[in-house]
Structure 1
Amino acid sequence: MPPDSVVAALDIGGTKIAGALVDDSGRILVRSQDPTPAREDGETVMRAVGGVLAELAASPLWSQVTGVGIAAAGPVDVSVGTVSPVNIPGWRGFPLVERVRAAVGGMPAVLIGDGVAMAAGEHWLGAARGRDNALCMVVSTGVGGGLVLGGRVHLGPTGNAGHIGHISVELDGDPCPCGSRGCVEGIAGGPGIARRALEHGWTSGPDGDTSAAAVAGAARAGHPVARASFERAARALAAGIAATAALVEIEIAVVGGGVAGAGDVLFTPLRRTLRDYATLAFVRDIEVVPALMGADAGLLGAAAAAFTWPD
């Protein structure tokens, strides 16, 4: 049977532009994807977005599409529909919502940041489903996140609420590109994990891989420096989760992204060290669980936004 309702979803990051047609049960019906020409000028990037939309529009299902949800790397400003992704230099204050609307004939379009999109996707179909108060985190090259409060995804005035990566957990820590010091992202993001391991004596394997995934493999094999780097990352994440819980009383923290792929190397020390920070009675029972949506979290979150927050 044909789907009752369909939206188009875009997930735009520094590496790829993914698109899909999604029905109201969360089924991905059609996919399209192209590389992001992230080092090119803004118009070139927008043409790539238009190409993905054109591929989706070629589907017979396009006639049923009622709106477009856009998940984009940030910072974003949903109040005016603009994006300024750190990893797409050609887009600074770029009017993405306006340009997407023009590309789809004036159809309604809604913008959310990629961390909030992950939260929306996990709350709709994933590990936060049925939970009224949750923090959903993307731990990868950077660390982002989104909040579910009172059963609804919480955007904040500009759409950046829940950006846990820039909570400071080391007051005298290393400077962060954001201008602060000791941010969660600098410690728990993939580059921070790898840098700390290399600085303390870990060396890459025969293939020269110095990524956080390689550090995770070494930690899994028992390398003490690699394990210590993940312990430090876990402690930074635990401090950020506990701080968030103290402010807004979340009941669950959902952790996804490439670094979360380390599995127990990350989650075991994270759950253990969270007990050191989440000590008040109302935050003591926070669950920490892996995300379930994987690489489709952004697309499904964008689709959730289009269904939930139509213009």
Structure 2
Amino acid sequence: MSRDLSAWGSASPGIVKGDGSVWAPNIRGWRWVNLASFIRGRLGIGNVTLVDDRVANIVGEQWMGEAKGARNAVSLILGTGVAAGLLVDGKPVSGASGVSGAVGWWLLGRNTPRRRSARGFLESEVSGPALFKKTRRYCLRIRDEGCLRALSQCSPGDAECVFKAFDNGVSAIGVVLRREASIIGVVVANIISILNPEVVVLGGGLGVEVGRRFMDVVITTASKVAQPYSLRECRITVSKLGYLSNIYGAAKLVIDTHGS
């Protein structure tokens, strides 16, 4: 590795401990893997900053993205999983044990599930894999051959493929996407009511794609549910950084910790 490399920053899903160990339920085998130690060994450097992707995401948005200049902001990350990066009084929030922002575990319905979820109840509704399953079920139910034919070209769980099919004219998918946007609107409303942020940024692959197409549904739903005064003070927007939010956030934290 180049001698010019003096420090390294990485963001990981799941829980990141102070010693650099990671538990990520979405990645097979990542149960308290010491990722920081692995990076140090592979790169041959001592200065490694490892944070959870929720913190990295909101720090990136505050530094270079839609939350720039904000002191109270939330990035709602919707992708393979569901989580939120929290910025309160200008500082990212990790919580007592580094698990704050785990909104994927929220339960939005009235009925308590019979079984404990391994990945989170909300995540089973609005993550990328969940969207693919819902879309396929809906197209089977209405017997839309065009929709089923389009989905047959997708890998199982591939939400990006669902959006491409919709953009290519498979209109039935729009019904499912609007329902997803409405659920996201409720989540945004709950975040606004709890934290009173200046801005909520939709991020992650699913969040960005839904936001670009159905932000009107997200905002309309949120406006019916959120605390009214907090809603008026909050801007709901889509990340322009996309996947780069985490990279910018990790870089900013390295600069703050080890210098530029």
User: TM (normalized to structure 1)?
Assistant: 0.69
Structure 2 equivalent of residue 146 of structure 1: 85
After TM superposition, give the deviation of residue 158 of structure 1 in Å: 2.8
Distance in 2 between residues matched to 1:198 and 1:88, nearest whole Å? 24
Decide whether aligned partners of structure 1 residues 234 and 108 sit closer, same or farther in structure 2, where only a CA change above 3 A counts. Answer: same
Would the alpha carbon gap of residues 225 and 132 (structure 1) be closer, same or farther in structure 2, given more than 3 Å must change? same
Task: Kindly indicate whether the alpha-carbon contact (under 8 Å) linking 2:151 and 2:165 is maintained by their aligned counterparts in 1.
Answer: no
> Identity over aligned residues, as a percent?
23
Contact 1:97 1:109 in 2 (8 A): yes
- 2:31 partner SS: coil
Task: Specify the code of the residue in structure 1 equivalent to 2:226.
Answer: A
Letter aligned with residue 56 of structure 2: A
SS in 2 for 1:161: coil
One-letter amino acid matched to 1:69:
G
Match among 128, 131, 151 for residue 190 of structure 1: 128
**Cα deviation code 1:218-270 (max 9, x no counterpart):** 55577664222122212222222222222221121111222222454332211
Larger relative contact order, structure 1 or 2 (CA cutoff 8 Å, min sep 6): 2
Corresponding position of 2:51: 112
Distance 2:119 2:79 in 1: 20
Q: C-alpha separation between the residues in 2 aligned to 1:215 and 1:104?
A: 38
Residues 269 and 106 (structure 1 numbering): CA distance in 2 closer, same or farther, change over 3 Å? same
2:234 pairs with 1:290: no
Alignment coverage as a number of residue pairs: 248
Amino acid of the structure 1 residue aligned with 2:201: V
Partner of 2:148: 204
Deviations 1:19-62 (A, max 9, x none): xxxxxxxxxxxxxxxxxxxxxxxxxxxxxxxxxxxxxx22x532
Superposed CA RMSD in Å reads 2.8
Say whether residues 1:61 and 2:8 are aligned partners: no
Query: In 1, Cα distance between the equivalents of 2:227 and 2:96?
Result: 31
Letter in 2 for 1:178: A
TM-score normalised by structure 2 residue count:
0.82
Alignment-mate amino acid for residue 126 of structure 1: G
Q: Deviations over 1:114-150 (max 9, x none)?
A: 2221111111111111011111122112222211111
Unaligned 5+ residue runs, structure 2?
Answer: none
Give 4+ residue runs of structure 1 displaced > 6 Å after superposition.
Answer: 173-176
> Could you say which residue in structure 2 is the equivalent of 1:4?
none
Q: Which residue of 1 aligns with 2:185?
A: 238
CA gap of 1:90–1:199, structure 2 versus 1, over 3 A, is closer
Find the residue that maps to 1:136 and give its secondary structure: strand
The structure with more strand, counted as a fraction of residues: 1
Q: 1:99 to 1:193 in 2, by over 3 A?
A: closer
Is the 1:112–1:159 Cα contact (8 Å) retained in structure 2?
A: no
- How far is 1:299 from its partner? 1.8
Structure 1 partner of 2:223: 275
How far apart in 2 are the matches of 1:69 and 1:206?
40
**Amino acid aligned to 1:208:** S
Q: Secondary structure at the match of 2:59?
A: helix
